[in-house]
Amino acid sequence: MADRQYDIVVFGATGFTGGLTSEYLARHADGTRWALAGRNRRKLEDVRSRLGESAADVPLIEADVNDPAALRSLAESTKVVITTVGPYIHYGEPLVAACAAAGTDYVDLTGELEFVDLMWLRYNDQATASGARIVHSCGFDSIPYDLGALFAVKQLPESVPIKLEGFVRAGGQPSGGTFHSAVHIMARLGESRKVARERRAKEARPEGRRVRGVSGRPHDDAVAGGWVVPFPTIDPQTVLRSARALDRYGPDFSYSHYLVVKNLPLAIGLGAGAATLIGLAQLPPTRNLLLKWKDPGEGPTPEQREKGWFKVRMVGDAGEERVIAEVSGGDPGYGETSKMLAESALCLAHDELPETAGQVTPAVAMGEALIDRLQRAGIRFEVPHA
């Protein structure tokens, strides 16, 4: 790894989030050897020119997901690859394969549980053997929850049962790419369940410890500050995988994940709307109509991103001890996601970290080192009610 030409390569730099991630690196990657990668050189040159004089000499790498030789060369040239090219179920596997073979660390921002499970089934063993750390979900999915849970657990006593609940509030505009990924997730729920069952059958569980997800139910919660509804995203699965891997989560750990809404009618409407979208996503004609609503290259304006925000409240109980911890920041989907993604790559490239390999979560791969980085970058990890 010390002989690699680059520390970090951003694959998908010409996309909306890839461009924001590149802008962040241009401002904060002093002393880092990094490059921009994508399939269209002219667009890469446009991105580089937009980054300003500090990035004028950043190398450009032409690579396409349909060109295994180019991806192999890319993976072998760098310590860490950042990829923002989704939906990952359609475009993500070739790069995971290249990194697992080359022993190259990999980060993405996927919220696609099927893709994560499938990559574990196909490449975890190879990545473990090569030393590659395959770290999915290094954006708003799932950094605030995974590291927020670790942060909360660290405030509680060791070696005792812990019950943790996560409550999510956020405001922001989705991009076309995020919307397309969400539609594809909803369209493939059957396939996702099948792959999840296959992974559960093959994946080892911790010995002498219990780790479980509790789906919960809609209810009015005073600590959360409103009505809460179970939020079945990839995030609780990421938290639970960290808990299974790390003894610090205690002998009996449970986690529930909720979205906070203003009132009961809004909670009911949210559930009905989600059910309608899932139904529409099952049939090709209606799914295609949904996908035409937003173009994959569209994203919120700087003014819209400026108004974005998120707050994740973690409520942990360990016997008579209780902690309420919060993770908060600005625009969740893009401003803070590009920051989380870039800082994850910088952390893997430069920091002293635990010895890990294979497909691992952000908390397992980077843990407190990444929390420290994100705090310095302006994302808040606090215990306001201590």
Give the pLDDT score at 187. 79
Amino acid, res. 305: R
Place of tokens 């005073």: 222
Give the relative orientation of helices 143-154 and 235-245 as an angle to the nearest 10 degrees.
40
Task: Specify the CATH number of the domain 143-332.
Answer: 3.30.360
Give the pLDDT score at 292. 75
**CATH topology agreement for domains 6-138+336-374 and 143-332:** no
Q: 348 and 108 in contact (C-beta within 8 Å)?
A: no
For the chain, the straight-line distance linking the first and the last C-alpha, in angstroms and rounded, comes to 43
Could you read off the pLDDT of 296-329 as tens digits, one per residue? 666 777 888 888 899 999 999 998 999 999 999 9
Q: 325 and 316 in contact (C-beta within 8 Å)?
A: yes
Give the pLDDT score at 303. 80
CA 102 to chain centre: 22
Beta strands in 108-216 (DSSP E): 133-135, 162-171, 210-213
Burial class (CB in 10 A: 0-12, 13-18, 19+), 122: middle
CA 337 to chain centre: 8
Give the pLDDT score at 177. 65
Q: 172 and 311 in contact (C-beta within 8 Å)?
A: no
List the chain residues with pLDDT less than 50.
Answer: none
Give the pLDDT score at 96. 98
101 CB-near residues (< 8 Å, 6+ apart)? 72, 75, 126, 130
Radius of gyration of the chain (CA): 20
Give the pLDDT score at 355. 95
Could you read off the pLDDT of 112-132 as tens digits, one per residue? 999 999 999 999 999 999 999
Domain residue extents for the chain: 6-138+336-374, 143-332
Neighbours of 205 (CB within 10 A): 9
From the candidate CATH numbers 3.40.50.720, 3.30.365.10, 3.40.50.300, 3.40.50.12780, the one assigned to the domain spanning 6-138+336-374 = 3.40.50.720
Q: Taking the complete model, does pTM exceed 0.95, yes or no?
A: no
